[in-house]
Every structure is written in structure tokens, then in C-alpha cells.
Structure 1
Amino acid sequence: MATLDTPADTAAPPQAEERTTLKAWFAVVSVAVGIFTLVTAEQLPIGLLTSVGSALQVSEGTAGLMVTVPGLVAALSAPLVPVVVGRMDRRYLLVGLMTVMAVANLVTVLAPNFGILLASRVLVGVTIGGFWAIAGGLAFRLVQPAAIPRATALIFGGVAAANVLGVPTGTLIGGLAGWRTAFAVLGVLAFAVLVALLVLLPKLPATKPVSVPELLAQFGNRGVRAGIIATALIVTGHLAAYTYVSPMLQQVSGVDEDLISLLLLGFGVAGIVGNFVAGAAVSKNLARTMTVIIVALAAAMLLFPVLGRSQAGGIALLVLWGLAFGGVSVSLQTWMLKYAPDSMEAASALWVSVFNLSIALGALVGGLVADNIELTTVAWIGGAVVLLTAATLPSLRLSGKAAQ
């Protein structure tokens, strides 16, 4: 019987290594880069709020809708796209969705006003939800059984890489060449990915189309339900504050605007370290790993208005923030994959929906607070919401023991 801290896959007998072709591994990499592109596209505005707002003459809170809108749309499209497309070959579905992403970024680059730009973000949301929901279980169809754990980690690594590298790199490009150039580069990357998917992916007919009853049945899985609660709280709290980390660093810590892109890149480097550390830790003790992440993430935000009032303090807390959030995706993904092995596409669709809904909610709450109360309050609220997750850990532990 598997428990929360002894993943089910560790109890399975070792399998004989079967050869996975090089083309199959390239296909896995193309899916991972696709995930990286989508998540980067969703969160890239975080590092460009000030420049976009100035260029299109909207407030930073209004510019935050660039994160809120695709998050809401992705939350809807994640469960709907798999149901609507039915038995459509997943290869052509993924290629089509990535084509929409390339077009959406082109519209963003050419947008003459904020309204047109926001419309392009709707297309981004459709692509994120549909692509991510389908891609979650593709490792099982692309590689041999013995290679599935590595392939799955690589695909989901695209999420972590986007969170810790995509936004800082995009911000750096935007700072050097303008925000439209940053989205143009993203559009070129999306086009390259769609070509790679078309060339490398085999035919992927739907073996088990997702249905509404199957989606609803996932809420009866205690492990899945607990993971969704944790996802909602952590992601909402993080995005409420992190969406406005750039203006906070400038206004609270006194950091020069020209240094923001480099600091966010440092956040990304810290996140990579956190991702690898958490990845090694979750297989040994998932509950303990999540506890450390929650406490560190909440502390970084709650302490920012107090200890972040100097450049040194702000930078130190940003590094802690990056370390903690770098481990979030791998921990939550491990949780969901563990407790829904037989309904991966359905559970993945629900998880993606909640993840993106939480991104939208966090950005929206942060925007309302930043515009109507005080900028530093977003850090208080974000940290408090993340800290609430600690109260769910006993029930998560209980759910884990009862899940198998």
C-alpha cells in the first residue's frame, strides 16, 4: 500500500530496459519545449508590466489583465478541449494549438492598442489549456515503459523551466530591445515548435476520449482533490504577489529599473536550484518537501514589506522566493501523477484548469490591491494565502494514506 511519503512507483519491481528511439526522445523534447513556450507566453507580461502599461497608456493593474485573461481562458479550455475534440488525433491537435499560439504572439507584436493586445491573450489562453492538458500524459505513448518516468519528468520540466527561466529571459529581451521584440521572439519559438511537433510526433489517435463524467469522477479521488486544493492556494498566493514583483523591487527596495531583468534572471537561477532539490526530495518525503516549500515561499512574501526596504534585503528575499517556487511545480506534479495513474488525461485537464484559474485569480487580486490599496499589500496577501496551505497538510497526509 502506497502512502504519501512512499510513492507507488517506487514499490514496483524494476523493469527490463527497453530501447527508446532517438526520434522518440526528440519528440518528448519538442513537447517539453512546447510546454515551456506556452507557460512563458502566459507569464511573460509579469516582467513587462511597466513598459507595456507606459506604451499603451494603461495602469499597471490594468496591464495585469494580460496575465489574468489567458489564465481564465486556459482554465476553461483545459477540460473543454479534450472533451470537444473527442477522438481527434492528438498530434494534429497539438500542432493546431501551437499554430494558434504563433498567430496570437504575432497579433500581440502588432497590437495598436490594449484592447487588441488583450484579444490576442484570449488565444494564448485557449492554447495553454488545451495543449497542457493533452501533453501531460504523452510520455506513456511516446517512449518505452522503462523510459516513462524520465520522459514524464522532461515534459513537465518545461513548466518549471518556463517559470524560472522563460519570464526572466523574456524580460531581459524586452529590456534590451522592447516588449514587442520579446513577444516576437516567443512567436518565432512557437512556430519552430509546431514544425518540430509535425515532424517528430507519431500519429496519436485518442485511445480513451475524455468525457464529462470522467472529469467529474476525479473529484471523488481524495488524493487528486487534496492536490487541487494545494495547487489553488499556492499558485493564487504566489501570483498575487509575483505579478507585481517588478514594481515592488523598484518602489520598495529602491532597485533601478535597468536591473530588474537581471534580478528576475537571478530568480530563475534560484528556481532551477530549487527545482532540482525538490525533485530529489519529493521521492523520499513529499509531505515534508511541501511543508518546507510552503513555509519558505510564504516567508519570502510576508517579510518583503519589512525586510525588503533595502536593495540587499529585497534581493535576498527574491532569491529565497525563487528557491521556494522552483520546487512547486515538480512537487505538485508528482502528487497528481501519483494519485491518478489510470485517468491521467482527465486529472491533468482538471489540474491545468485549477492551476491556470489560480494564476488568473492571483493576478486579478494583486491588480485590485495594487491599484486601490497599497503595492506592498500584495505581498502580505500573497504570503497569507500560501501559508493557508500549511493547514491542509494534515488532510493531504491522510488523503495520501487512504488513496491506495
Structure 2
Amino acid sequence: MTIVDSATKPTASAGERTPLTRWLAVVAMAVGTFALVTVESLPVGLLPFIGSAMDVSEGTAGLMVTVPGLVASATAPLLPVAIRHLDRRVALIGLITLMVLANGLTALAPNFAVLLGSRFLVGISIGGFWALAAGLAVRLVPERSIPRAISVVFGGATAANVLGIPAGTLIGGLADWRTAFVAAGALGLLVLVALLLLLPPMPAQQVVQLRTLPQQFRHPVVRAGVLATFLLVGGHFAAFTFVSPILQTTSGVDEAMIGPLLLGFGVAGILGNFLAGAAAERNIRATIITIGAVLTVVLGLFPLAGRTPVSGALLLLAWGLAFGGVPVAVQTWILKAAPESTEAATALNTSVYNLAIALGALLGGIVATHLSVNAALTTGALFTLLTSLAVWSARRS
């Protein structure tokens, strides 16, 4: 099989809209990913407030992050199967509507059980939207602009890690945690209006059947892309889960500087997202290999070269720059590898992405507990090193 240099062309109905309107629709989907990623991780900065209000421990309150992540991992591959011939515009609008309603339920929840139920609904919205959005964005733009459109969509997720979570935490601190979820729901409502106005009808181009999902693994290039996703994301989270203690114990960074440094990491990630999108237009294989190599060098050198606050900060920025390009790079690979089954391949890749987050963090925790946080860095470096081998193995396909 061959990695083609094109993907699904804009549909006829999408072509009836002006180029500006189509790009505005792509931006609306990017704001949608921003809202969803913000909602998914919003409890991280609000756990003490939520735990106190609901009379549960912070560890129990952390289920508000775990539940939607696991549900999203299951929803991503199953939703395209469930919706079959449903117009994808209707599906996206329905998923954003579900997110708005779920946030309203979160804000009004009288007890923790209802709160977790609302987060279950959020997980459905996240998994479904991520599985569909990138594949739909490429139907709105010319072929030469596909990597750029994917960069825009995933840029919304990267921006959420930089701006969305701190903003939500600030709102929760100034008002209360329920107000933060109301604000996130209000943003989702704006996205809903924008999609209604800007997104054209987008009939299903493929009917995804359950057996179609495992069939993607038979495609050697898709298989290499999914494996690259697992290794890059898993390796990153094996180390990044412990970035705060790493900066403090290895680099000697003052606790008060952790927040600003992580903000810098996020800003570098946004830049890396768009740089990788531009590079993917020229050579997607070289882009992923470069990302894997940079992450390997950064994670591998951190315990040795990151022993001062300045060197630790510089390595952290390089880390953010490299990892920021991962979502757009692997998604571009998948879309080019399987243009005839974009929804099935994207859904599978989205599911693996979410699983890699959970398993990478779990493995990193085991290593950090039994060895050290620097060993978690080495574990991450080994994962990212294997990425280049996985991608290079598809060179003849």
C-alpha cells in the first residue's frame, strides 16, 4: 500500500460555501476542541473545591478526570459505527449540545454520583467530537491545505492546555467551581451557534462497521501510524505526569516558577503544532521521525543536562515544541494512509491516543515509585526512540 499525498476532497455541499466561510467552520471546530479539552481537564485545578463541596477526598474527586478519559477512549471508535448514515454536521452539533447539557448538569449536581454521571456524558462528547472533527475539517479545504486545517483543529486542544485550564481555575477561585463549568458550557453554546451558521451539510462518505475498526490494523501504514501515536503519547505522559517534581528535584526550580514554566511549555506546544503542520505538507514521515528524535534527546538528556533552572527551562521549552507537533503529525499520517476510510482510522487513532495517556501515566507512576522520577524520563525516551523505528519500518509500504 502507498501513503498518498491527498485526502478526502471537499464535498459538493461544502463547495457551495465561500472559502472564508469554510475556514471559519474549521476555526469553529478548533474552538470546539478547545472547549472540550478544557472541560475534560477542568477539574484538575478545582479538585480541592469540589472535594470539599461534595464531601469526598481529592483522590475520589479525581475520578472526574479519569471517567471522561476512559469513556472517550471507548466512544471514539464506537460512535462512527453507531451513527452510520447520519449527517456528520448533525452529529457534531449533537455532540456539542451534549457537552453543554452535561456542563449544566455538573453545575447543578446535588451529589457526587450525579457529578460523575455528568462527566460520563462529557466523555461521550469528547470521544465523538475528536473522532469526527479532523476528518471533517479536511473536507472543507483544498487538498494542499489539509495539514494546515488539521493544525488549526488540534491547535484548539493545545491552546486549551495553555489558556483554558488556567482560566477555568481562575474563575473557580474568584467565584466557585460550579461557575467555572457554567462558563465552559457557555463557550460550548457559542460553538454550537457557530457550527449551525457555518458548517454545511456533510453527508456520511463511509458507513463505518464494527469489523472495519480491527481491519485498519491490516494496513501496514495505518498500523505504523497508530503505533507511533501510542509510543509518542505514552512516552510523553510517562514523563510529563511528573514534570513538577522533575523540575524541582532535578533542575532546582523554585515551586513558584512551575506555573510560568508550564505556561511556556504550552506556548511552545502551540508553536510546535503549527510548525509540524507546515512540515507535514512537505514530508510527513520525516516530520514524525524528527519529533520522535527530538523528544528522545530531550527526555534522555534531562537527567544529565537539566540540572540547573536555566537548562531545565530550556529543555522543557524544547520538549513542549516537539510534543506540540504530535497530534497534527500523527493525524496527518493517518488521513494520508487511509483516505478511503478516514473515519474508521481516525476513530481508532483517537482511541489509542486516549489509552496511551492513561497507560503512559500509569507506567510512569510505577517507574517513579519504584525507581525515581528521572527513571520516568528515561522510560519516556525509550518509547519515543521506538517511534522512529516504527515509522521507518513503513518506508517500503
The answer to whether residue 166 in structure 2 is matched with residue 168 in structure 1 is no
Further displaced range: 375-384 or 236-245: 375-384
2:198 aligns to what?
200
Q: Which residue of 2 aligns with 1:154?
A: 149
Deviation at 1:106, TM superposition (A): 4.2
- Stretch moving more, 86-95 or 125-134: 86-95
Q: Does 1:238 align with 2:236?
A: yes
TM-score normalised to structure 1 length: 0.81
CA distance in 1, matches of 2:316, 2:365: 20
Q: Offset at 1:262? A: 2.4
Larger mean Cα displacement after TM superposition, 388-397 or 256-265: 256-265
**CA distance in 2: counterparts of 1:304 and 1:206, whole angstroms:** 47
Alignment partner, residue 99 of structure 1: 97
Aligned to 2:381: 383
Inter-partner Cα distance in structure 1 for 2:182 and 2:71: 22
Change (3 A) 1:343 1:183: same
1:156-215 deviation line (CA, Å, top 9, x unaligned): 52223422x211213432564446365443332222112222333333343432112322
Partner of 2:395, secondary structure, is: helix
Structure 2 unaligned segments of length 5 or more: list them. 10-14
Q: Which of 359-368 and 311-320 deviates more? A: 359-368
Do the aligned partners of 1:175 and 1:258 also contact (CA within 8 Å) in 2? no
Give me the CA root mean square deviation.
3.3
Q: Distance in 1 between matches of 2:37 and 2:343?
A: 18
Query: What's the CA shift for 1:233?
Result: 0.8
Q: Which amino acid aligns with 1:160?
A: G
SS in 1 for 2:322: helix
Residue 213 of structure 1, aligned match among 205, 211, 214: 211
Say yes or no: does 1:259 pair with 2:257: yes
Q: How far apart, CA to CA, are the structure 1 residues paired with 2:86 and 2:156?
A: 29
Residue 195 of structure 1: SS of its match in structure 2? helix
Q: Distance in 1 between matches of 2:64 and 2:98?
A: 17
Q: Give deviations 1:344-396, integer Å, cap 9, x for gaps.
A: 11111111111122122223333455566644443232222222223323312
Alignment of 1:14-53 (within 5 A): 20-21=17-18, 22-44=20-42, 48=45
Kindly report which structure 2 residues correspond to 1:269-308, keeping only aligned pairs within 5 A, or say none: 269-308=267-306
Q: CA deviation at 1:31?
A: 1.8
**Equivalent residue of 1:69, what SS?**
helix
Q: Deviations over 1:58-90 (max 9, x none)?
A: 35xx77655543332212111111111222232
Please identify, of 120-129 and 243-252, the stretch whose mean Cα deviation from structure 2 is larger.
243-252
Query: Contact 1:78–1:130 (CA<8 Å) still a contact in 2?
Result: yes
Matched, 1:8 2:5: yes
The corresponding residue for 2:322 is 324
Determine helix, strand or coil for the equivalent of 2:339. coil
Stretch moving more, 313-322 or 102-111: 102-111
Equivalent residue number for residue 12 of structure 2? none
Identity fraction in percent? 50
Please state if 1:124 is matched with 2:119: no
For residue 187 of structure 1, what is the amino acid of its counterpart?
A: G
Q: Pick from 332, 341, 344 the counterpart of residue 343 of structure 1.
A: 341
Question: What is the CA-CA distance between 1:294 and the residue it aligns to?
Answer: 0.9
Deviation at 1:230, TM superposition (A): 0.7
Partner residue in 1 for 2:58: 58
- Offset of residue 278 of structure 1: 2.3
